[in-house]
Structure 1
């Protein structure tokens, strides 16, 4: 029997990209410890502060639609470099800004860089990593988990000096990642096939991809409600202490993404694991919705949620990439677009719901979104189970080829009429 290849025995190219991924994902939770400080120092409402998540994630989502188009024309390395350069610039500009509006705007530019980098980095890791597709996903989710764990810790430490510190910190770290990619990643050839701008949207015509992308949207609604608004309920004024809470949460995310998810998948299957995980995470978030005025309950619930987030991050991504009947870069862009729309809107909506109602409502809504995710997933149960058995779906270009043939016929008809 052939021994299993460890996902952590990788070439330098993969480690360079993985390090950049860690720093990139640090940007997700980086602002959590300084949300309260930003609200006070910049005289901003909670919903205005939540726009730091919304501008970043919504721009990331929309930009996901063009990442494949860009990468297929200039190559993966240049796309990675472009994304890293944008993050370095806009993270530094956010740190130098003097208003909440300015930070929100620069976070949007940061989101554009994140889209170019994150979508392409997954493709590079999948194509360069040893251990096959499953090993590459584990490595990618490991980078996600480590980044999410370290982001709040760094944000808390630097935020205790100034709210500007975390932004400058990420800019400096991303500059190091940029150098690593430039030095260690060889020039990548331009793909033979140029991706079309509308391919990610056309891919939504495939039921399996559209359905699993919706699962990601509902899951991310719960995820980012928790991540974005819970700091306001913890009654912790110290950015360092807030950072430690979210670091503990992030450690659980990393541990269960790397080890918990594969074990549960092997024992119960992807679909069954996700059903239980979504429901349990929904109950965990519902506890915050029932007792939002009890900081201890909120803190414990947030840390425990890391278990469910880690399992979900790995298994939902694997499910999407396994059953999508299109090429993986297209599937990644489509999935990223849909799920980040949910993730981007959730924190802002949470702030508005609190302003118009109370702190119970956004978390009860988020808990409901996790139950909806489980119900939506059940409609593609057979496809997910088949993927567990190794019956992977081969990429197909039927719809795209049909559209292209129709356009070619239209052009030919036009030339014929002119002659």
Structure 2
């Protein structure tokens, strides 16, 4: 009987540790889902906020731009903050800030106040979002699986957020913000209770290391593609609610369907294609499809129902692109993951921040369809960059030992 006992006792701690890591990974995943619900929850209520507060499209779009602009700047420092304070602690601080500023948004009464509080919300997201990916990479251990889990949480969050915003927003634009604050509290508790990870002992890296990451041609190409692509992504997400002229609940249902396909594209479709087709070819095909989408949305003589269907179906391509670019940013950099994620996130959120306020301004001065021309041009430029850099990107990915 001594032998089985020794085997059990040897295997027991390993099994328990694996179970704890599994639970912790799911807690982080759930928190990611809730955080990205907070992004989409605003979507259906943008027209109602503009109506109730007498705001122009440009002013309404500030709710996205301040959020994303703060995220872009703060991601430069998120890696070092995580190294100094500990990833778990930074994740908790980020969740706490999101909940606090979501509550402040629900209690505010003017566009300037909402814009400022959304900036604070962006600060919390900037601390949590890259930290969550690093935590998942550490807890799961396999880069591709961790990224797929992360992107699945984003997709589900992006789908459930607009639905929550549409249902609660049909009773008043403040309720989605208050609902988001309550959900952030749940996410905070889940991470505090279940997540325990050994903290990295690596020294904090100068912020300059983030910019030196752009010396790698393949990584720079992925980052610039991300900048242009996310301009298009957030132009669709931020401006389309003003363009479609649907009810709050109608917008919620539209972007719920879009988000479901976003999750499908970023998980099942991305995983299958990455094992069968070169990554650069998938990116090129997806970007070409999105270029056509923006042209059709803005300028094709299509019925409203057809345009709604196009928006919903585009979620598949957007989800596929999200997963592909995040995967490539980790695999072609050959850098510490915290540095790579900070460098990539800075560029993608910079492009994202420019889209909403640009679309609002262009719509006011040049006409409602014209922002989609800007989206088409941005994504077409991304096609050009990817076409020129396809070979070094595929070579850099193939040389990453984590891919095989």
Both proteins in one fold, TM over 0.5: yes
Superposed displacement of residue 220, structure 1 = 0.5
The answer to whether 1:305 aligns with 2:329 is: no
Task: Pick the aligned partner of 1:337 from 318, 330, 346.
Answer: 346
Kindly report the root-mean-square deviation, in angstroms, between the aligned alpha carbons of the 2 structures: 1.8
Quote how far apart the aligned CAs of 1:387 are: 4.8
Tell me, in whole angstroms, the C-alpha distance in 2 between the residues paired with 1:124 and 1:296.
Answer: 41
Return the alpha-carbon distance in structure 1 between the equivalents of residues 214 and 397 of structure 2.
22
- Could you tell me which of 211, 218, 226 is aligned with 1:216? 226
Q: CA deviation at 1:299?
A: 1.0
Contact 1:291 1:360 in 2 (8 A): no
Measure how far apart 1:117 and its partner are: 0.2
Name the CA distance, whole Å, in 2 between partners of 1:201 and 1:135: 27
Q: Distance in 2 between matches of 1:207 and 1:393?
A: 19
The residue aligned with 1:321 is 330
Is there any run of 5+ residues in structure 1 with no aligned partner, and where? 1-8, 395-419
Structure 1 residue 10, shift from structure 2 partner: 6.6
Identify which of 171, 179, 188 aligns with 1:161.
171
- 2:85 aligns to what? 74
Identify the residue that residue 109 of structure 1 maps to in structure 2.
Answer: 120
2:271 maps to what in 1?
262
CA distances 1:163-204 after superposition (whole Å, capped 9, x unpaired): 011111111111111011111112643533222232212322
Aligned residues: 384
2:368 alignment counterpart: 359
Deviation of 1:51 after TM superposition, in Å, equals 0.6
Taking a change above 3 Å as real, the CA distance of residues 44 and 291 of structure 1, as seen in their structure-2 partners, is: farther
5 Å matches for 1:85-104?
85-104=96-115
Q: Which residue of 1 aligns with 2:147?
A: 137
Q: Mind listing any 5+ residue stretches in structure 2 that lack a counterpart?
A: 1-19
User: Equivalent of 1:281, from 290, 298, 316?
Assistant: 290
Deviation at 1:41, TM superposition (A): 0.3
Instruction: Give SS of 1:335's match.
Output: helix
Q: Secondary structure at the match of 2:295?
A: helix
Contact 1:204-1:210 at 8 Å conserved across structures = yes
Q: Secondary structure at the match of 1:192?
A: coil
Question: Residue 14 of structure 2 corresponds to which residue in structure 1?
Answer: none
Q: Confirm whether residue 195 of structure 1 aligns to residue 205 of structure 2.
A: yes
Name the SS of the counterpart of 1:379 in structure 2: helix
Alpha-carbon distance, 1:116 to partner: 0.4
Give the structure-1-normalised TM-score: 0.88
- The equivalent residue for 1:120 is 131
Looking at structure 2, the residues matched to 108 and 292 of structure 1 have their Cα atoms a distance apart, in angstroms, of: 37
Take 1:89 and 1:292, find their aligned partners in 2: how far apart are those partners?
44
